[in-house]
Amino acid sequence: LPDVDGITLIKQLRANLKYKSIPIVVQTAMAMVGDRETCLEAGAVAYLPKPVALDVLARLVADYSRRMRDEG
């Protein structure tokens, strides 16, 4: 991200009522020890290091789409 790091962006989105309920999935090519936990604590719903298997990503999107639909 050019102007802000991912953790800060997640926190900013979670602090904004307009975007608070949008599921955030972090995808990174530079996975470091502790990054997953940091992202999830900041408000991401999932952390996927690259390369991501398309079936895993598709399942994740389907699960969260279903949850959002069920929650109304």
pTM: 0.82
Kindly report, residue by residue over 44-57, the tens digit of the pLDDT.
999 998 999 999 99
Tokens standing for residue 15: 């602090």
Token code pair at residue 49: 């290091």
Domain covering 6-71 in this structure, CATH number? 3.40.50.2300
For the CA atoms of 30, 64, 72, 41, the dihedral, rounded to the nearest 10 degrees, stands at -40
Average pLDDT for residues 14-42, to the nearest whole number? 93
Confidence of residue 4 (pLDDT cuts 50, 70, 90): very high
